[in-house]
Amino acid sequence: MNLYHQTSAEKARDILRDGFTDDVGHFLSDHFVAGVWFSDQPPDLDKSADGKTLLRISLDVSENDLSKYESVEGDKPYREWLIPADFINSRRRSLEVVEK
């Protein structure tokens, strides 16, 4: 399964070298959570403040494996997941920069 992660160029270099690390915070919710945000489609990099570097990761997982991490919110035309970094790093088949 392929997912996308948007970040800064500096953080992308760190991720490519060391793997993903969890972000922690409330992320528009009342609960304190940790993980890494991914989507099933590339975001519009011009409309986001998250950075202009897009990573594509290929994972050795099924959609069912990710179901408990999915964040369902409104009528977005894409799907999002907040996935623990350890889960992602241990199931990564490939990781590449697809857009800067």
Q: Quick one: DSSP state of residue 69?
A: G
Instruction: Spell out the residues 6+ positions from residue 77 whose beta carbon is closer than 8 angstroms to its own.
Output: 41
The overall average pLDDT reported for the chain is 89
> Residue 18: pLDDT band by 50, 70, 90 thresholds?
very high
**So where are the chain's domains?**
2-99
> Residue 28: pLDDT band by 50, 70, 90 thresholds?
low
